[in-house]
Amino acid sequence: MTFDLLSTVEYGGCSAKLSPAQLAEALKSLPKVTHPDLLVDIETHDDAGVYRITPELALVQTTDFFPPICSDPYEFGQIAAANALSDIYAMGGTPLTAMNLVMFPSTRIPLEVLEQILRGGQDKVTEAGAVIVGGHTIDDYPPKYGLAVTGTVHPSKVITNAAARPGDTLVLTKPLGTGVLVAGRRLGEARADAYRVALESMKLLNRKAGELMQEYGVRCATDITGFGLLGHAYKMADGSRVTLAIESTAVPLLPQALKLVDIGCIPGAAFRNLAFVEPHATFAPTLDYSRRMLLADAQTSGGMLICVVPDKAEALVGELQRTGHPQSAAIGEVTERADVLLEVM
């Protein structure tokens, strides 16, 4: 049985997110939720919420779902699950349980497709050492899938997107370009081998990166998803009251990504993300258009952007490269707060 899930969507994966500007507008008038045990809330748009249960234990809670990002239903399930689990790793946590979030048109797509999506998600959750404990389904088109995930972390070891310090080195653990490669696939321009690399990158759990962050004493990180590298870097800089200096040529890219942007394979989310950060950023005159767009490309199940003290950066990058993240790289540094939040060179 063959069914191409990409035939059901215009924007898939994290490219389907609301723009960061729209999200900020929707949230701005909501009352701030406070509680003495709420360690991380929505104020800095962090990757997950953290709630302290005891002095030794806190819960990390997140949810994420989206329309298909690839053709194969089993791989879609794997990618969606890896993407949701990543929020737990970004906070320094360990996934514990997950619940399926399913929107599926039961009369328009064979139910065997749903079974394969759920199987892919379950296999990835099992790989993470967590368990599926239930879920919720509605009949809806186009299909969408994701997880609500609960994890645990020690309250004193929570990693947030608002703890960057001047002098920290910025490390990125996965290459950029998943949105562009998927767009190229839809247009028949992406090479099969390059598209396959993108799929494998999206399926790769950020588990090892999360473990290494704890080993190296990291206290500030975020995973790169729908707002692109620049959008998530902006949120980190704003929450931490610092400026991030990014060396664009050091940022790892997926195969063929630059060439696809050159011929116009640019998802709409990249333009929205760039428009959101431009008022808060400076760009070097030498930075070419294609590379700038890739820095704003919406990533699905992307890598971690990690702030680590400089004397540990080389060792962290080396260990990441040896343990499943071969394109990990130092891409810049944290500086004192300047007139802009992002300096892209």
CA distances, 250 to each of 159, 245, 278, 286 (Å): 24, 12, 20, 14
Nearest Cα neighbor of 254 from 189, 314, 179 is 179
Q: Which of 14, 220, 265, 307 is catalytic?
A: 14
SS (H, E, C) the chain: CCCCHHHHCCCCHHHHCCCHHHHHHHHCCCCCCCCCCEEECCCCCCCCEEEEEECCEEEEEEEEEECCCCCCHHHHHHHHHHHHHHHHHHCCCEEEEEEEEEECCCCCCCHHHHHHHHHHHHHHHHHCCCEEEEEEEECCCCCEEEEEEEEEECHHHCCECCCCCCCCEEEECCCECHHHHHHHHHCCCCCHHHHHHHHHHHHCCCHHHHHHHHHCCCCEEEECCCCHHHHHHHHHHHHHCCEEEECHHHCCECCCHHHHHHCCCCCHHHHHHHHHHHHHEEECCCCCHHHHHHHHCCCCCCCEEEEECHHHHHHHHHHHHHCCCCCCEEEEEEECCCCCCEEEC
14 in catalytic set: yes
> Catalytic residue numbers?
14
